Chain A
């Protein structure tokens, strides 16, 4: 088996944390087969790549060119496929972020090799075996790769980024000139600067128990007390128009695995549980002691959220300010 190509992701010239997780997953595969980890990053010049070596890259291809601050799918695809084909590579590993979910299938299509998407475990060796979560987490599938090359996207927040210092030799280059069939013209910042629910270390999620859209301000205050929290929402409140779809957690929303998930006024419909059951610690606050959410929660408080949440906000604020 050959080397593993880890696709790193930058935003504004800074490597995303998910890229370090990608390196850890790539390292697992490479170590099992005796190969090296080559990393590739496409973007503007001057990206700090010291972490890539620290987290296991033997070599890093840094490819630059005009207007690459934004994700340009056609350019990125060709650039990465070129690096793959110009070396002895047998696998591509990439984080299943918004970019990775778009880019991984393009690479697999171009390389004409299978795509194992959004995997939650990889096992290297003679044949690669991955674990995927199907039906939004209701079933786990062990899947064997029966091909000489493969593209694997890894779910963010699942692999623990582990320091494993390697040479991290940087080779700079340029992206190939290719037609931009689709051109990313701009990226608009969201109206609020809050963290994305799929990336935040703490998710404060609300459901129909909030009674009306305005009451989400209780959750926003709690999120603010944490400082590093995002707001999540159940499908019911998104369908009711209380929250944007970007906040939805569940089978028709996002799948999240934060260190701390706080479900407030969420009963725990099966399609919601599917999207958050892999969180490390789950707290549920609900007035119904029989709500299914308590079945997956590590800690529960039975009570009126309109009384419990302000108290929780006050206590969290004390800790965070201390």
Chain B
């Protein structure tokens, strides 16, 4: 089974974000970057499927700046076989443009499955994997929380408001991973050592920026200062009164 996992380098979710002096990008000074948390589920699922099949290859693909090599190495340390970095310093706001850049690499690669995290926690478009599938003309199930594959066919579950959809499909297919799909393994020391020797191909790419242009970034307005209505259960009536008469939500 040949599986591609597309990953992204993103700021850690515990990081405080500052806007750069140019007003259109974030200040990366002091920001810790990590493998997008949802991509960890995709990598884990690829490794499990390869292990279950007893053969195959897991290829990690990413689009990003040179430092993305570290992100790919993290996935290699988890157990993926090799990596490909499509190197660009451009930050692309349009997920369709990102998808096209990935498709150029994925098309004709002979992958049985192409996995993504359901969303990147930086720009939260929830879109690139689905667009890749549509351009390649492949079956796609997004935000999957469960997966079973046998004899070239698959069944996946995805959570929707107030229910769980069961979706059937044939391989090859594109799937995007929701949290809870599995428990991602931590790279062991041996995996980290081995990852340094695994092949990581870096290709410089010319990418189109697509049809969205970032005009300005700003911090969200601070919420108006609230107040402590009191201490302990005795404060509950004051809270109820405030919710009824001030906030008018009761």
Measuring CB to CB, which residues of chain A are less than 8 angstroms from any residue of chain B?
11, 70-71, 73, 77, 96-99, 101-102, 104-106, 108-110, 112-118, 129, 132-147, 150, 181-190, 195-196, 198-199, 244-246, 248, 250-253, 259-260, 269-271, 274, 277-278, 280-283, 289, 294, 296-304, 307-308, 310-312, 315-316, 319
Q: In whole Å, how far is A113's beta carbon from the nearest beta carbon of chain B?
A: 6
Task: Let me know if B164 and A143 touch, CB within 8 A.
Answer: no
A187 with B134: CB separation less than 8 A: no
CA of A145 to CA of B94, assembled, Å = 10
Interface majority SS (helix, strand, loop, mixed), chain B? mixed
List residues of chain B with CB within 8 A of the CB of A71.
Answer: 160, 165
Identify the interface centre among B93, B212, B216: most chain A CB within 10 Å of its CB: B212
How many chain B residues sit at the interface, stated as a range, is 35 or more
* B198 interface contact, C-beta 8 A: no
Interchain nearest-CB distance for B7 vs A (Å):
15
Query: Which of A77, A96, A302, A310 neighbours the largest number of chain B CB atoms within 10 Å of its CB?
Result: A302
Which residue of A96, A143, A278, A301 is within 8 Å of B236 (Cβ)?
A301
Quote the shortest CB–CB distance from A247 to chain B (angstroms): 11
CA distance A208 to B161 in the complex (A): 25
CB distance from B241 to the nearest CB of A (A): 10
Closest Cβ of chain A: how far from B155's Cβ, in Å? Answer: 8
How many pairs, one residue from A and one from B, have CB atoms within 8 Å of each other in the complex? Answer: 283
Q: How far is the CA of A36 from the CA of B137 in the complex (A)?
A: 32
The answer to whether A299 and B239 touch (CB under 8 A), given A102-B142, A142-B215, A146-B211, is yes
A135-B121, A144-B215, A312-B236 are known contacts. Are A260 and B169 too (CB-CB below 8 A)? no
B167 touches A301 (CB 8 A): no
**B66 contacts chain A at the CB level, 8 A cutoff:** no
Interface residues of B (CB under 8 A from A): 11, 13-17, 19, 26, 37-38, 93-97, 99, 121-128, 130-135, 137-143, 145, 155, 157-170, 173, 178-180, 210-220, 223-224, 226-233, 235-237, 239-240, 242-244, 247, 249-250
Chain B hits for A141, CB < 8 A: 93, 214-217
Q: How far is the CB of A196 from chain B (nearest CB, A)?
A: 4
Flag if A248 contacts B179 (CB, 8 Å): yes
Q: Note all chain B residues with C-beta closer than 8 A to A70.
A: 165
A308 to B213, CA, bound (A): 49
A-B contact sample (6 more), CB < 8 A, given A270-B16, A299-B247, A307-B233: A108-B96, A118-B125, A136-B121, A142-B215, A185-B155, A271-B13
Residue of A nearest to B19 (CB): A139
In contact, B232 and A307 (Cβ under 8 angstroms): yes
Report the separation of the CA atoms of residues A101 and B229 in the bound assembly, to the nearest whole angstrom. Answer: 39
Query: Given A114-B210, A144-B213, A301-B235, are A185 and B159 neighbors across the interface (CB < 8 Å)?
Result: no
Q: From residue A304, how far is it (CB to closest CB) to chain B in Å?
A: 7
**Bound: A139/B91 CA distance, A:** 16
9 contacts between A and B (CB under 8 A): A105-B130, A112-B96, A132-B123, A138-B219, A139-B17, A143-B214, A147-B212, A181-B173, A300-B229
Chain A residues in 8 Å Cβ range of B162? 189-190, 195-196, 199
Given contacts A139-B17, A139-B217, contact A118 B230 (CB under 8 A): no
Taking A145-B211, A182-B139 as contacts, is the C-beta distance between A301 and B239 under 8 angstroms? yes
Q: Nearest 9 pairs between A and B by C-beta?
A: A147-B211, A114-B211, A109-B134, A181-B139, A105-B127, A98-B160, A303-B232, A105-B130, A109-B131
- Within 8 Å CB of B244, what residues of A? 319
The reply to whether B14 and A113 contact each other, CB–CB distance below 8 Å, is no
Residues of the B chain whose Cβ atoms lie less than 8 Å from the Cβ of A117:
95, 124-127
A116 to B11, alpha carbons, bound, how many Å? 21
Closest-CB distance, B31 to chain A (whole angstroms): 10
Q: Tell me whether B212 and A308 are in contact (CB under 8 A).
A: no
Known: A115-B95, A252-B179. A146 touches B159 (CB 8 A): no
Residue of A nearest to B134 (CB): A109
Q: Tell me the minimal C-beta distance from A134 to chain B in angstroms.
A: 6
CA distance A133 to B126 in the complex (A): 13
Query: Which has the most chain B C-beta neighbours within 10 Å: A102, A106, A278?
Result: A102
Across-interface contacts of A105 in B (CB, < 8 A): 95-96, 125-128, 130-131, 134
Find chain A residues with CB under 8 A from B231 CB: 301-303
> Contacts A109-B99, A245-B145, A253-B179 given: A190-B217 contact, CB under 8 Å?
no
Q: Is the CB of A198 within 8 A of B161?
A: yes
Q: Are A187 and B165 in contact (CB under 8 A)?
A: yes
Chain A residues whose C-beta falls within 8 Å of the C-beta of B212 in the assembled complex: 114, 116, 143-147
